[in-house]
Amino acid sequence: KAGVTQTPRYLIKTRGQQVTLSCSPISGHRSVSWYQQTPGQGLQFLFEYFSETQRNKGNFPGRFSGRQFSNSRSEMNVSTLELGDSALYLCASSNGDVLPLYGYTFGSGTRLTVV
Amino acid sequence: AQSVTQLGSHVSVSEGALVLLRCNYSSSVPPYLFWYVQYPNQGLQLLLKYTSAATLVKGINGFEAEFKKSETSFHLTKPSAHMSDAAEYFCAVSDSGSSNTGKLIFGQGTTLQVKP
């Protein structure tokens, strides 16, 4: 079956702009989590959505937001981009009553460069 | 709060040698633990996970890890390194404040170099 699909793969934006990233989970998966990966901070959790509801949120400013649609596809938005937002953004999908038991499948990521 | 420490940001081994990547965790409740591998410009691929079913967990590509509660460790091993194993490896623990959470806490990663 198809894996987790993230679009676009690469993105270049200018400081102050906003950006929207998309994640399509594995068919049937209801949980989508987002992570930011940078050389300095490593992998950091942004937020998780389950059945269109945000269940968990990491320690990021309000410029970072997300949503999930009824088909489980998720988008994350970053407004007023800063140079420090340059990163690889990864999403992961999961399912089941206990997500860690089921495991998490990651997409290939979106590489965002802010100039 | 849960945390993960990976000892050694870079590990270098010769092809055919034992691979040992170290991971220690901190958790106030029985943890769910994971090892992921990341190749350049790619996402994370699950190698194996510990979910309390067995302390020795076998994963893909010949990797395995042993959960040791007394040492709060979950080290990753492979008996014989292959050139294709060169990548970055991440240990992660599930945020078990709520068992049904989508949040993973990652270690800083270990880059494995395999020399011919």
Instruction: Verify cis geometry, omega within 30 degrees of 0, for the bond prior to A8.
Output: yes
Pairing of strands A64-68, A53-57: unpaired
Greater pLDDT, A94 or B22: B22
- On average, the pLDDT of chain A sits at 93
Other beta carbons within 10 Å of B92: 28
Work out the pLDDT band at B51, boundaries 50, 70, 90: confident
Tokens of B111: 């880059």
Min Cα separation B16/chain A (Å)? 29
Share of chain B above pLDDT 70, in %: 95
Nearest to A98 among B100, B103, B106 (CB): B100
Q: Decide if pLDDT at A64 tops 70.
A: yes
Question: What residues pair up with A56 in beta bridges, in sequence order?
Answer: A48
Q: How far apart are CA B2 and CA B23, in angstroms?
A: 13
Q: Tell me the three state secondary structure of residue A1.
A: coil
CA torsion angle for A8, A105, B36, A47 (degrees, to 10)? 70
Tokens of A23: 């994640």
